[in-house]
Amino acid sequence: MANNFKLLENWTPEQAARMERNIFVAQHRLNQLELFGDDQLIDLLDRHPRRDLGINTMGTNPTRRSDWQEGRAGNLDAAELLEAARKGRIWLNVRRVMDHHPEYAELVLALYENLEEACPGLETFNHSANLLISSPEAMVYYHLDCPANMLWHLRGKKRVWAYPLESSIVSDETIEGVLCGEKSEELDFRSEWDELAVVHDLEPGEMITWPQHTPHRVVNTEGLNVSLSTEHMTPRAARRNNVFLANRHFRDLLGGTWRRTELEGWRPALKEFALRVCRRVPGLKPPAPQGYKYPITFEVDLEAPNCVRPLDESHRREVAHA
């Protein structure tokens, strides 16, 4: 399938070389594959472990990220879940598709092979992918991702706001906090920041990406939306994360400022090496990131408004202790 099908459309080395430096849109052909039709999505949802299926709903105000809620499928089957996404206000995050579905793992690996062919010198590793299935007006709040992230759009339409790092609306301390697990990836947002954003209406057959740690948000504008979100690391991306983590760890361990974030030269190389050593030494090891887990507050219900039925407090406690 994927090995005999060119997944990228008219990429040149010069174009692809901009991928890690700029907010970047390009064309692909994943939407022409049969893997993302309704029947295939139902089959995927039916086979996918529920423990790795994120189900969310949200409000309509991009500044109220507290409206983002985690839910559960209840007794709904795969076809009913897809129908809830089509008619409600639901975001389905089919996590770790490469781990559970060989045909999607083959596709993602072929995609990265095509990417590295199109961009000489690009070296990627730690590939992962989530399939996103979401309602016509669903949204994702302002947030940043720690790995390098690419959004391959397949069905429906969505508007993406990406906020260039040079606008300085996200601080180094915020990036450190996300990497350390002290902060959620979803961040506080102010509407006036939209004046700084690069905005793109994403169509099927388009991919958008941005430099690592670039904050962004998404609003669906038409139809059931299906996108493949892939993440990867490069040596430079790994160093960037390690430099931020080293700054936080060595400030806590040794005091001082530890604020420099340059990636070239002997200082960041030494900083990265020292952090790797600390991870192996008891007493010097940084605490493991804890992350944030949302409580389960609703159940998907095709008869409820937006297909969202809130759980009462007793049900929430049962879910929390399950």
pLDDT at 315: 57
Distance CA 225, CA 137 (A): 9
Give pLDDT tens digits for 216-260. 999 999 999 999 999 999 999 999 999 999 999 999 889 888 999
Contact 155, 224 (CB under 8 A): yes
pTM metric for this prediction: 0.92
Instruction: Give the residue extent of every domain in the chain.
Output: 8-171+185-233+292-315, 237-279
Could you tell me the pLDDT band of residue 265, with boundaries at 50, 70 and 90?
A: very high
Lowest-confidence segment of 2-16, 30-44, 182-196, 280-294 by average pLDDT: 2-16
Average pLDDT of the chain?
91
Q: Which residues contact 2 (CB under 8 A, 6 or more apart)?
A: 106, 107, 109, 110, 111
**CATH 2.60.120.650 is held by the domain 8-171+185-233+292-315:** yes
Secondary structure of residue 186 in the 3-state scheme: strand
Q: Which residues contact 293 (CB under 8 A, 6 or more apart)?
A: none
Is the predicted pLDDT of residue 17 greater than 70, yes or no? Answer: no
* Overall average pLDDT of the 67-71 stretch: 96
pLDDT at 175: 93
* Overall average pLDDT of the 114-134 stretch: 91
